[in-house]
C-alpha cells in the first residue's frame, strides 16, 4: 500500500560533472543544477544540446536538454528546454480487487516527474562578481488505478483511473565571486522560491515533489595552471568533488558524488573529456553508478525512501552523453580597450591642414590579447563630421599599452561662426566593422573666424577664401589692362601688386580686432564687406589677393612688441637682384630671398595697415622690416619670422 514518498527536486548534479566556474569552458555552465546563478563566459549567443544513451537493459537514446544563452553587456539571459529530464515509475499500487469470478485484478500506477524548461538571468557587476537567478518549471503526472465502492441498491466496486497534472515553478538565487585567478566561490539557494499548483486529489498529495529549502556552496581552486579542483556541498549533506585538467584544446574532468539517499557512500562518478574549438565545445561524459542499476527494485524502497532528484536518484541508469555547445559571437570580441583619451588641440575649423598633419588627440589603448594586433583608430566630432575619420593604423604588442594619435578632417562645408562645446567620439577597431571600444570626450570647436594667434595659421584664412580674392583681383586688374600691357614682363608682378594694393587701401580702413577675448580673423570677403580690419585681416586680405593671381607671398610675424604682435606681408616680385633697380635704387626697400630653385629673388615688404598708397605702405613695410628683422637681428634671433603662405 502506498503511503508517502520523499522526492526532492533537482540539486547540483549535472550530466557533465562539476567543473566549478570552468574558466576554459562554458558548456558545464548551462547546468542550472550546479550553476543556479546562471554564471556565463559567453560574449554573445550560446547554444548547447545534450544527447545521451541510457543503459536500462536496452539502449535508450534521447535529447536531454537544449539551451540557448545570450549575453548583452553585463546581462546574461538563458533558456533551457529539458525533454529528457524526466523519470517515470510504473508499479502495482498494492491494491487488488476480487471480481465476480473470484479472480484477483491488481491495480497499477504510473507516476512521471518532469522538469520541462528553465529560465536564467545573471548580472556581472564586475569581472569578479556575478549575481543571478534561475527559474525552472516542473510537471508531475499522477496516473493511478483505484477501486471505489459504490453504494446504491447494491454495493459494488468500480475500478477506475484517476489522473492529475500538477505543475510548479521553483526558483533559486546565486552569487559567484572570484577571489583571484585561482580561487572562486559560489553560493546559492536550493528551492528558495516555490509557487504553482498543489495536488487536489488526496490520493496524490503525499507524492508531490518535496521542495525543502536548502543551500549549496561551491569552491573552485586551481593550484596549478592546467589543474582545477572543485567541491560543491549542499545543506542536504550531498556533495560533489571534481578534478579537472586542461591541455591545449582538450580537457578532462572526473566528478564523484555523494547523495544522501543513494548507496554506496560515493554513489557514482561522472568522467568527461572535452574539446574546445574556435566556436564550439564538445563534451563526452558518462554517468556511472557504483550500485547495480539493472537489478529490479521492490516498490517498497521507492515508497519508503523516495528519490532525491529527477535525473539522479537510486533508480537512474548509467548513461553516456554527448554535449555540443556553440559560442556564436555576432559581436566582435574586444581585443583592445581605451584607458583614456587626451585632447591636445582645440578645434579651429579653418586650420584644416593642421589636423591632417598633426594629431588633435591621443588615445591610450591597451591590447587585451596575447598576440600582436593592429589597431585602426578613427574619430568623429559631433557637429563637424558626418562620418568617422580614419587615423593611421598602429600596432600594439601583447598586453601592451600604446599612445595612439587621432587626426581629423574639417570639411570645407563647415561654416559655423559660433564657438561651441562639442564632443568627439573615438573608436578603435581590430577586425570586422564593429569597434572594439569607443570613448567620448568633450572638446572646444571654435568658430570659423577663430585664430589661435599663431601667424603661421593665418595662411589658412588666406587659402580659404581664394575664389573670392581671385575674382576680385581679376576684376581690378582688368580695369588696368592697357596699363599693364605696356609694361615689361618682368615688372608685371610689381605693378599688379601695386594696383591691387592701391585699390585695396582705397576701399578699407584700419579697425582693431572687435573681439576682446580672443583672436578673430576675417576672411577677405568679410574684410571687403566690412570695409576694414586689423593688421591680421588686412594682411590676410592683401596676401589672398596676390596669391589668387599667382604672386607668391609670405607673412612677416613681428613678435617684438610684447603681448601685441604685428604682421605684414612680403611678396615676391620675381625680379632678380640685378633687376631691382627697375623698381628702386634704394636697396633697403627690398629683401633678397632664395627660391627653391636656388635663384635669388627680390621680395618687397608691405605694411598693410598703412592705408595711404602702395609706395607709402612699401616704404613703411621696408622701414619696419629693416629695423626689426635686419638691424635688430629679428630673423636671426627668431623674433621676426617669415612664413610662406604656400
Partner 1 sequence: MKKLITYLFFMSVGLFLFGCDKPAPTEFFNDSSEAEYEILSKDINNEYYSNGFDTTGVTQDITGLANIIALSGIKVTGINDQTDRFSFAQTIFFDKSKPILYSDGRLLAYETITPGIIKFDNITARKVLFRIRYRDNGVLRDTLLGKKYVLYSGRHGGMDQFHYRYDSFINFKFHLVPGSDTEFNIPTPEEITGTVNIMGKRAAGNLRALLRWNKVGNKKIIIVIGARLRDRQIIMPLYRVRTKDDGELLMPARFIYKIPLERFDRLVFTFIRRFEHFEQVNDNNDLYISSQSIHSIVVNIP
Decide if residue 312 touches partner 1 (CB under 8 A): no
Residue 88 in contact with partner 1, rule: CB under 8 A: yes
According to DSSP, the residues that pair with 408 across neighbouring strands are: none
Does position 489 interact with partner 1 (CB under 8 A)? The reply is: no
Between residues 63 and 393, which has the closer beta carbon with respect to partner 1?
63
578 part of the interface to partner 1, by CB under 8 A:
no
For the beta carbon of residue 68, count every other beta carbon within 10 angstroms: 15
Instruction: Copy the grid coordinates of residue 540.
Output: 590676410
Which of these, 381, 366, 364, lies nearest to 430 by C-alpha position?
Answer: 366
Instruction: Identify which of residues 104 and 486 has a Cβ nearer to partner 1 in the complex.
Output: 104
Query: Taking a C-beta distance cutoff of 8 angstroms, is the pair 163, 141 a contact?
Result: yes
Q: First vs last Cα of the chain: how many Å apart?
A: 106
Q: Which of these segments, 14-22, 90-98, 133-141, 377-385, binds partner 1 (CB under 8 A)? A: 90-98
Kindly state whether residue 61 participates in binding partner 1, applying the rule CB under 8 A: yes
Of residues 110 and 333, the one with the C-beta less far from partner 1: 110
- Cβ proximity to partner 1: between 47 and 123 the closer is 47
Nearest to 450, CA basis, from 368, 350, 322, 306: 350
Q: Is-contact 347 121, C-beta < 8 A?
A: no
CB of 173 to partner 1, least distance (A): 29
Tell me the torsion sign for CA atoms 382, 384, 386, 389.
negative
Smallest gap from Cβ 1 to partner 1, in A, equals: 5
Q: What mask, x for binding partner 1 by CB under 8 A, covers residues 129 to 158?
A: -----------------xxxxxx-xxxxx-
Site string for partner 1, 401-440 (x = CB under 8 A): ----------------------------------------
Check binding of 90 to partner 1 (CB under 8 A).
Answer: yes
Q: Is 295 in the site for partner 1 (CB under 8 A)?
A: no
Cβ atoms < 10 Å from Cβ of 86: 18
Q: Report the distance separating Cα 64 and Cα 60, nearest Å.
A: 12
User: H helices within 196-255, ranges in order?
Assistant: none
Instruction: Report, in Å, the least distance between residue 143 CB and partner 1.
Output: 12
Choosing from 84, 541, 605, 634, the residue that interacts with partner 1 (CB under 8 A) is 84
x/- letters, 238..267, toward partner 1 (CB under 8 A): ------------------------------
Q: How many residues bind partner 1 (CB under 8 A)?
A: 58
Q: Rounded to the nearest whole angstrom, what is the least distance from the CB of residue 412 to partner 1 in the complex?
A: 40
For 531-552, b/e burial (b = at least 16 CB within 10 A) is ebbbbbbbbbbbbbbbbbbebb
536 forms bridges with which residues in the sheet?
none
Give me 344's grid cell.
591636445
Q: How far is the CB of 56 from partner 1 (least distance, A)?
A: 4
Rounded CA separation 141/230 (Å): 36
Q: Which CB, 1 or 421, lies closer to partner 1?
A: 1
Contact pick of 181, 223, 247, 296 for partner 1 (by CB under 8 A): 296
**Which residue among 6, 23, 41, 91 contacts partner 1 (CB under 8 A)?**
91
Spatial separation of the C-alpha atoms in residues 27 and 265, rounded to whole Å: 28
- Which class for 410: exposed (0-12), middle (13-18), buried (19 or more C-beta within 10 A)? buried
Is position 322 an interface residue for partner 1 (rule: CB under 8 A)? no
| Complex with partner 1: residue 116 or 409, whichever CB lies closer | 116
Q: What is the DSSP string of 391-459?
A: ---EEE-TT-EEEEEE-----TT----S-EEEEEEEEEESSSSS-SEEEEEEEEE--TTB--S-GGGHH
**By the rule CB under 8 A, 328 interacts with partner 1:** yes
Residues 6+ apart with CB under 8 A from 573: 493, 494, 497, 583, 590, 601, 602, 603, 604
179 binds partner 1 (CB under 8 A): no
| Site for partner 1 contains 87 (CB under 8 A) | yes
Say how far apart CA 143 and CA 111 lie, in whole Å.
Answer: 6
Q: Cell 588666406, residue?
A: 462
Instruction: Please count the other Cβ atoms lying within 10 Å of the Cβ belonging to residue 584.
Output: 17
Cβ atoms of 79 and 119 closer than 8 Å: yes
161 belongs to the binding site for partner 1 (CB under 8 A)? no
Nearer to partner 1, 99 or 245 (CB): 99
Query: Taking the complex as a whole, how short is the minimal distance between the CB of residue 520 and partner 1, in angstroms?
Result: 54
**In angstroms, what is the minimal distance from the CB of 218 to partner 1?**
27
Residue 171 touches partner 1, criterion: CB under 8 A = no
Least Å from the CB of residue 113 to partner 1 = 11
Of 24, 41, 77, 94, the one binding partner 1 by CB under 8 A: 94
Q: Is 79 in the site for partner 1 (CB under 8 A)?
A: no
Query: DSSP class of residue 646?
Result: -
CB of 85 to partner 1, least distance (A): 9
598 part of the interface to partner 1, by CB under 8 A: no
Q: Of the two residues 5 and 188, which places its CB atom closer to partner 1 in the complex? A: 5
Phi and psi torsions of 71, nearest 5°: -105, 130
Shortest approach of partner 1 to residue 337 CB, angstroms?
24
The least CB distance from residue 369 to partner 1, in Å, is: 21
Among residue numbers 12 through 51, which ones bind partner 1 (CB under 8 A)?
47, 49, 51
**In whole angstroms, how close is the CB of 442 to partner 1 at the nearest point?**
37
Q: Binding segment for partner 1 among 19-27, 83-91, 213-221, 236-244 (CB under 8 A)?
A: 83-91
Binding status of residue 80 toward partner 1 by CB under 8 A: no
- With binding defined as CB under 8 A, does residue 318 bind partner 1? no
| Cross-strand partners of 324 | 49, 282
Under the criterion CB under 8 A, does residue 279 sit at the interface with partner 1? yes
Among 75, 260, 297, 403, binds partner 1 (CB under 8 A): 297
Residues numbered 211 to 230 that lie near partner 1 (CB under 8 A) are none
Phi first, then psi, for residue 619 (nearest 5°) are -65, -45
Is residue 370 involved in binding partner 1 (CB under 8 A)? no
Alpha helix segments (H runs only) across 531-633: 535-548, 614-624
Q: Give the separation between CA 20 and CA 220, rounded to whole angstroms.
A: 5
Which three three-digit cell numbers place residue 291? 550500485
Specify the length of the chain in residues: 646
The residue to which cell 518532469 is assigned: 114
Q: Does 104 bind partner 1 (CB under 8 A)?
A: yes
Q: Which residues contact 34 (CB under 8 A, 6 or more apart)?
A: 12, 13, 14, 18, 28, 218, 232, 240
What whole-number distance in Å separates Cα of residue 65 and Cα of residue 283? 14
Q: Which residues bind partner 1 (CB under 8 A)?
A: 1-3, 47, 49, 51, 54, 56-58, 60-63, 66, 83-84, 86-92, 94-98, 104, 106, 110, 146-151, 153-157, 202-203, 279, 296-300, 302-303, 315, 317, 326, 328, 330
Amino acid at each position: 500500500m502506498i503511503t508517502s514518498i520523499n522526492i526532492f527536486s533537482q540539486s547540483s548534479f549535472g550530466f557533465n560533472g562539476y567543473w566549478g566556474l570552468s574558466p576554459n569552458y562554458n558548456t558545464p555552465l548551462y547546468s542550472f543544477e550546479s550553476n543556479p546563478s546562471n554564471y556565463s563566459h559567453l560574449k554573445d549567443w550560446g547554444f548547447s544540446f545534450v544527447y545521451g544513451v541510457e543503459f536500462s537493459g536496452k539502449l535508450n537514446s534521447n535529447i536531454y536538454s537544449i539551451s540557448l544563452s545570450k549575453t548583452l553587456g553585463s546581462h546574461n539571459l538563458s533558456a533551457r528546454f529539458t525533454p529528457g529530464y524526466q523519470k517515470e515509475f510504473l508499479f502495482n499500487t498494492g491494491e487488488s480487487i476480487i471480481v465476480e469470478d473470484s479472480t484477483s485484478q491488481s491495480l497499477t500506477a504510473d507516476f512521471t516527474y518532469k522538469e520541462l524548461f528553465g529560465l536564467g538571468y545573471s548580472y556581472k557587476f564586475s569581472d569578479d562578481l556575478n549575481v543571478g537567478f534561475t527559474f525552472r518549471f516542473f510537471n508531475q503526472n499522477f496516473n493511478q488505478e483505484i477501486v471505489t465502492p459504490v453504494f446504491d441498491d447494491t454495493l459494488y466496486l468500480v475500478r477506475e483511473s484517476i489522473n492529475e497534472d500538477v505543475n510548479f515553478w521553483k526558483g533559486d538565487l546565486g552569487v559567484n565571486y572570484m577571489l583571484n585567478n585561482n580561487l572562486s566561490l559560489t553560493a546559492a539557494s536550493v528551492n528558495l522560491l516555490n509557487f504553482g499548483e498543489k495536488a487536489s486529489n488526496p490520493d496524490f498529495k503525499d507524492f508531490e515533489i518535496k521542495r525543502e529549502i536548502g543551500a549549496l556552496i561551491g569552491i573552485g581552486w586551481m593550484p596549478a595552471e592546467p589543474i582545477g579542483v572543485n567541491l560543491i556541498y549542499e545543506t542536504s549533506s550531498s556533495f560533489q568533488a571534481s578534478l579537472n585538467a586542461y591541455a591545449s584544446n582538450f580537457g578532462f574532468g572526473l566528478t564523484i558524488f555523494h547523495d544522501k539517499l543513494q548507496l554506496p557512500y560515493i554513489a557514482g562518478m561522472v568522467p568527461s573529456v572535452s574539446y574546445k574549438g574556435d566556436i564550439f565545445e564538445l563534451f563526452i561524459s558518462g554517468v556511472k553508478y557504483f550500485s547495480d542499476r539493472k537489478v529490479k527494485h521492490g516498490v517498497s524502497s521507492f515508497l519508503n525512501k523516495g528519490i532525491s532528484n529527477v535525473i539522479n536518484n537510486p533508480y537512474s541508469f548509467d548513461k553516456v552523453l554527448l554535449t555540443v555547445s556553440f559560442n556564436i559571437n555576432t559581436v566582435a570580441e574586444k581585443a583592445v580597450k581605451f584607458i583614456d583619451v587626451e585632447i591636445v588641440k582645440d578645434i579651429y575649423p579653418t586650420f584644416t591642414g593642421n589636423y591632417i598633419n598633426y594629431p588633435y588627440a591621443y588615445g591610450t589603448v591597451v591590447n587585451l590579447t596575447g598576440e600582436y594586433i593592429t589597431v585602426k583608430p578613427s574619430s568623429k566630432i559631433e557637429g563637424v563630421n558626418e562620418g568617422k575619420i580614419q587615423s593611421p593604423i598602429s600596432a600594439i604588442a601583447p598586453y601592451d599599452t600604446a599612445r595612439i594619435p587621432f587626426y581629423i578632417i574639417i570639411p570645407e562645408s563647415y561654416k559655423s561662426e559660433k564657438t561651441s562645446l562639442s564632443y568627439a567620439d573615438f573608436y578603435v577597431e581590430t577586425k570586422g566593422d564593429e569597434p572594439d571600444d569607443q570613448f567620448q570626450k568633450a572638446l572646444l570647436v571654435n568658430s570659423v573666424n577663430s585664430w589661435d594667434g599663431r601667424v603661421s595659421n593665418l595662411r589658412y584664412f588666406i587659402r580659404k577664401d581664394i575664389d573670392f580674392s581671385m575674382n576680385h583681383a581679376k576684376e581690378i586688374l582688368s580695369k588696368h589692362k592697357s596699363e599693364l600691357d605696356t609694361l615689361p614682363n618682368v615688372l608685371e608682378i610689381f605693378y599688379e601688386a601695386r594696383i591691387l594694393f592701391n585699390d585695396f587701401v582705397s576701399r578699407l580702413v584700419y579697425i582693431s580686432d572687435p573681439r576682446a577675448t580672443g583672436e578673430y580673423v576675417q576672411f577677405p570677403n568679410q574684410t571687403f564687406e566690412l570695409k576694414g580690419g586689423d593688421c591680421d585681416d588686412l594682411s590676410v586680405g592683401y596676401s589672398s589677393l596676390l596669391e589668387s593671381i599667382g604672386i607668391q607671398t609670405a607673412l612677416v610675424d613681428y613678435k617684438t612688441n610684447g603681448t601685441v604682435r604685428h604682421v605684414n606681408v612680403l611678396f615676391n616680385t620675381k625680379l632678380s637682384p640685378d633687376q631691382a633697380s627697375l623698381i628702386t635704387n634704394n636697396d633697403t626697400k627690398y629683401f633678397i630671398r632664395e627660391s627653391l630653385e636656388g635663384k635669388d629673388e627680390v621680395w618687397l615688404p608691405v605694411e598693410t595697415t598703412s592705408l595711404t598708397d602702395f609706395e607709402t605702405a612699401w616704404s613703411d613695410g621696408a622701414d619696419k622690416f629693416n629695423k626689426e628683422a635686419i638691424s635688430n637681428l629679428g630673423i636671426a634671433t627668431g623674433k621676426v619670422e617669415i612664413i610662406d603662405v604656400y
